[in-house]
Structure 1
Amino acid sequence: MSSKVTCLVPAHDEAARIGAVLSVLVGHPQIDRVLVIDDGSRDGTAGVAQQAGAEVLRLVPNRGKTRALAQGIAASDGDWLLLIDADLTGLTAADITRLVWPVLEGRADVSLSLRGNAPRLWHWLGVDYISGERMLPRALIAPHLAALDSLPKFGFEVFLNRLMLKRGMRPAIVRWPGVASPAKAAKRGLWRGIASDVLMIVDILRATGPLTVLSQIASLTRQVR
């Protein structure tokens, strides 16, 4: 069986940040292929990604993170998917290695990051249930591409949680104290950032419902403690 790892990087208007992320991913010894899904960007994101040595799948118009990832999964190959957000700061090659190895070594079935600037509640619980940085078997999500197309723009992570928990998969939580994801307000301005955060929360609740969200958080917390 192949152990090929395909890294998917969904990106929308991340030209200012994606270069630093790709400098860590492209050429990493545990990553065989880096595929950036440029989700309708208008700021040159695709060009930056190509210059960094990544493959680029361009989507027009913008489709949202869930559908962008669905397209990336459909275009991926190998047994493993590494999902990395395009706007991270402070990311290092060692961080990637620590996220990948628990799964490749068989100590866990999936792994999730816990970034340094994640909300305090997630640090107290020991898990960020909507972490965008994960290592997982491609076979977990590939059969569900049609379902992804029916989800809201930001429903991917909670949908993936549901699949993980249904199968009883063992998660590894990898703490990334030096890695941060910029607040949307810092990228888009205060009011647009607040609106984006609200829309994301609404999408999460539309995708799975508030009681299921609480159940997922409780289940993941029990597994990592």
Structure 2
Amino acid sequence: MNTEKPVAPPLSPRASQAVHRSLSPRQEAASRDVDTLIRCGRELLTRGEPARVADIVAAAGLSNDAFYRYFRSKGDFVDAVVEEGGHRLVAYLRRKIDAATTPEDALRAGIAAILSQAVDPEIAAATRNVVASAGGRSHAPKVREDLETTLAQVLAGPITELGSTDPERDSLTTSILLLASMEHLLWKDASDFDADSEVEHIVGYVRRGLRT
């Protein structure tokens, strides 16, 4: 005897649209809630203020139930804040690279954009506060891996134009190098740090690697 359950046929286009219409208001409300939580949480975290879940939901005008509807824990929430910051960094990097007129200038602009996260005093302080709020853990491994990959995709254009024979791997290696350099600078005294010199040093390092 055949005991397999019958497979439901796929919904027709009109039926699918009806389902989508029923879910849309809830999806839009959820998007607004999550955006508000992340925005308010980011403002608290970057200022170094107390950021318990109670503080975050109070700033957002939402409830604890709403918070835990979207995030498993405060750590999960901080990862979302870090990930959102990564998306903003990628957008900034893309604008800087797109504005450059030569591949080397594009590479230089990209390197400067990433290092600015540690060199600019205001941005660096905000980043350190977010990391401290995570107990010294700057991000979940998957968040870091996704950021490395996305930055590599943006850097691939100028690196390819500069003569890379393996742009995918070279771009990822450069991305990892830049994020590690940025994090190293983030925690050292940058009062006497020459950002332009560091940018030129890394540009030269990458260029020599590509020529090799």
Same fold (TM over 0.5): no
Q: The TM-score by the shorter chain falls in which range?
A: under 0.3
If you compute each CA radius of gyration, which structure gives the higher value, 1 or 2?
A: 2
- The structure where helix makes up a greater share of residues is 2
Q: TM-score, normalising length from structure 2?
A: 0.27
- The structure where strand makes up a greater share of residues is 1
